[in-house]
Amino acid sequence: MPDQSISQSLPGGRTPESRTPEAATSGLTRRRLLGTAGATGLALGAAGAAVGYTAAPSQATPLSSIGTGEAMFHVKHQPGITQGLQARGHLAAFDLAAGAGRKEAAALLRRWSETARRLMAGEAAATGDTDVARDAGPSSLTVTFGFGNSFFSRTGLEKQRPVALDPLPDFSSDHLDRTRSDGDLWVQIGANDALVAFHALRAIQKDAGAAAKVRWQMNGFNRTPGATAHPMTARNLMGQMDGTRNPKPADPDFDQRIFVPVGSAKDPAWMADGSYAVVRRIRMLLDDWEKLSVTAQEQVIGRRKADGAALSGGTETTAMDLEKTDAKGDLVVPLNAHARITRPDQNGGAAMLRRPFSYHDGIDPDGTPDAGLLFVCWQADPLRGFVTVQRKLDRGDALSKYIRHEASGLFAVPGGAAEGEYVGQRLLEA
């Protein structure tokens, strides 16, 4: 779990007045229904009549800031990469059905893209909407699509498969369940409302129809934006601040590290403005971790648990002094500290944008929690990003004895769809 994770923020957003079928006659959008209910109440039908809901024609109050946050679908880079951490997330991989090929995949991506566009704008799905999110705002919903290595042979597009999608090497901390790894297609869903996120997951699953089936699916969560008095770096389930040194869009080299440039010599043209996502289910061995003293935990990470500052001193954002020693002459930040090993300047400049979710999938019969991190990182080149850092972690990270990598995937995520296009159109209709 490299020491790079996006800091929390609450994206703002406009609220276009797109109407749902239920609200069309009353002039209400899905995102305004909740505000109207808060201002006027929901009126029941006349006494003795069947129960129903009516929207009183009075001034609507706005949704909370969490509900109104909106991410755009038609953007240069797909949504769900540079946005702040979201409160709820779902990751899913799909395999194309037997006999399905390029034509079926194109139709599926067209359906998925239209559904994502509508739901992200706070509209109902075009068909078969379940009403799960009808009284919610967009809640910063994002839906992101990617292609796995196997997708290209299934669709006859082997010549368009990026070299960067070659399988990841094996690592010593791997205990991978292959049934929960890889996949032809990958979908990442995030939102700041759990019902909005589930609504999108269900819509995407239904859209798959007979073209594809779910290979695996995982659920995650983060702190809800606004839960603290001021924006703070999120904590993971080990209680550590997780993400102090994440690359930021304002960094001058951010785009070249995270996104494939137009005209790349080593990537196919359809990947322009896209990125590569590494997805890992990392189980935290919390029973072992929690037996350590706070001081011992800080030595493993290389940062203070209370405020995320480096053991060399200062605040969370103070540069780590790797040469500082204590009165005995020992390094203040141990050589095998996680934060030392993962620093870009200790890995030839290798960096990746981490955007993870925590997870908890219940408690094993022996009382051990099945909990940890759904690790998602983004980079223009996974060999130079994730693989470089993970290989170094493999050689001596103090954190490795407290975690276990249980599932893995690598996906090519193309650039965002332009108006009138669907995600992956430049690949599937070339």
Torsion sign over Cα 277, 254, 117, 85: positive
Look over the chain and give the mean of its residue pLDDT values, rounded to a whole number: 88
Let me know: does 77 contact 274? Beta carbons within 8 Å.
yes
Domain ranges for the chain, please list them: 66-428
Task: Give the per-residue pLDDT at 231.
Answer: 86
Q: How many CB atoms lie within 10 A of CB 150?
A: 17
Residue 39: per-residue pLDDT: 36
- Alpha-helical (H) ranges within 155-310 are 194-208, 254-258, 286-289, 294-301
The secondary structure element, H or E, covering residue 186 is strand 185-191
User: Sign (positive/negative) of CA torsion 65, 68, 74, 79?
Assistant: positive
8 Å CB contact between 428 and 109: yes
Q: Kindly report, residue by residue over 211-255, the tens digit of the pLDDT.
A: 999 999 999 999 998 888 888 899 999 999 998 889 999 999 999
CA dist 255 and 380 (Å) reads 8
- Catalytic annotation present for 242: yes
Closest Cα partner for 80 from 140, 138, 144?
144
At 1, is the pLDDT very low, low, confident or very high (cuts 50, 70, 90)? low
The whole model's pTM is what?
0.86
Choosing from 242, 267, 381, 397, the catalytic residue is 242
Residue 364 backbone dihedrals phi, psi, to 5 degrees: -65, 160
Mutual angle of helices 102-120 and 194-208, in 10-degree steps? 160
- pLDDT digits over 69-116, tens only? 999 999 999 999 999 999 999 999 999 999 999 999 999 999 999 999
Q: What is the pLDDT of residues 137-162, one digit of tens each?
A: 999 999 999 999 999 999 999 999 99
- Residue range 299-345, pLDDT digits in tens: 999 999 999 999 999 999 999 999 999 999 999 999 999 999 998 88
Amino acid identity, position 53: Y
